[in-house]
């Protein structure tokens, strides 16, 4: 990571590390997780909000916290390349708290715009994600969408999401002058982004392309607490550490206007009804 990379991350709230993992590594990871999925259900599998009709996510639910029982995931989560990039971006080595695998087969819904630290509740500081594409991603198969600069916003109050296009049922509203931007990626690229960055994805409308992604969530080293679901946290050498448990709920930002310009006022309060996104 160069100084200019860090400047982009601090200004925009995200950064793509192109070609971070080699093609043969990506192939092995993709095959590994497809084989795990074929074997049946696993702890912490997540389908999302159910809808009427055929839902591809019933056959390909997300996996979560695989690093607790799968050595391949654990090695990836603590990989030296991720550690070096995260340390360069954050200034200190973070702590690892979550692993996830999104399969997103053709025809599946996306995920409504949200902020990760709404769920992780890392404090002080925030969380950060390392989102690695296992397939080429673009608008057709539901690539990541981000709102540049939104990492400077507080945690926003949520609203009801359209579950016809999102497998989660809450979202964060945006004013008209802030729009989500697509992040196109090749397999092996890693997207790093701040836990307050507003992001999500649209449905996979492709005829036959998956959009598989392997994700690690980390918390900044100054954090002293995180939500219960994410315990135990791991140092990047794999040793566990004890942190406090952050409680749910609290103030959240609501959009208003100040002199005709959209502004955020901390006038709302939120509760977290789920333990993870």
6-34 residue pLDDT tens? 999 999 999 999 999 999 999 999 999 99
Residues 214, 120: Cα–Cα separation, whole Å: 18
pTM for the structure as a whole: 0.96
Structure tokens at 104: 């997103």
Confidence at 249, pLDDT banded by 50, 70, 90: confident
**What region does 249 belong to: left with phi over 0, alpha with psi -120 to 50, or beta?**
left
pLDDT average, residue stretch 204-233? 97
Q: Which residue has the tokens 């390392």?
A: 130
Residue among 247, 256, 254, 249 at smallest CA distance from 268:
254
Residue among 34, 36, 15, 37 at smallest CA distance from 26:
34
């Amino acid at each position: 990571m160069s100084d200019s990379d860090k400047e982009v991350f601090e200004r925009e709230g995200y950064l793509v590390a192109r070609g971070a993992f080699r093609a043969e590594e990506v192939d092995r990871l993709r095959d590994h997780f497809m084989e795990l999925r074929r074997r049946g259900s696993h702890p912490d599998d997540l389908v999302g909000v159910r809808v009427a009709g055929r839902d591809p996510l019933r056959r390909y639910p997300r996996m979560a916290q695989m690093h607790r029982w799968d050595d391949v995931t654990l090695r990836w989560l603590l990989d030296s390349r991720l550690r070096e990039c995260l340390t360069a971006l954050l200034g200190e080595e973070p702590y690892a708290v979550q692993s996830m695998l999104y399969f997103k087969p053709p025809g599946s819904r996306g995920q409504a715009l949200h902020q990760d630290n709404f769920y992780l509740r890392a404090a002080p500081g925030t969380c950060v994600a390392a989102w690695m594409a296992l397939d080429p991603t673009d608008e057709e198969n539901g690539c990541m969408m981000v709102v540049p600069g939104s990492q400077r916003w507080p945690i926003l109050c949520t609203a009801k999401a359209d579950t016809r296009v999102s497998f989660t049922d809450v979202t964060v509203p945006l004013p008209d002058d802030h729009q989500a931007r697509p992040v196109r990626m090749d397999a092996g690229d890693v997207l790093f982004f701040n836990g307050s960055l507003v992001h999500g994805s649209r449905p996979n409308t492709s005829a036959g392309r998956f959009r598989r992604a392997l994700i690690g969530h980390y918390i900044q080293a100054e954090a002293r607490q995180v939500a219960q679901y994410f315990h135990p946290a791991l140092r990047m050498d794999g040793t566990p550490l004890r942190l406090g448990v952050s409680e749910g709920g609290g103030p959240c930002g609501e959009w208003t206007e100040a002199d005709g310009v959209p502004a955020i006022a901390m006038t709302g309060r939120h509760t977290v009804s789920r333990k993870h996104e």
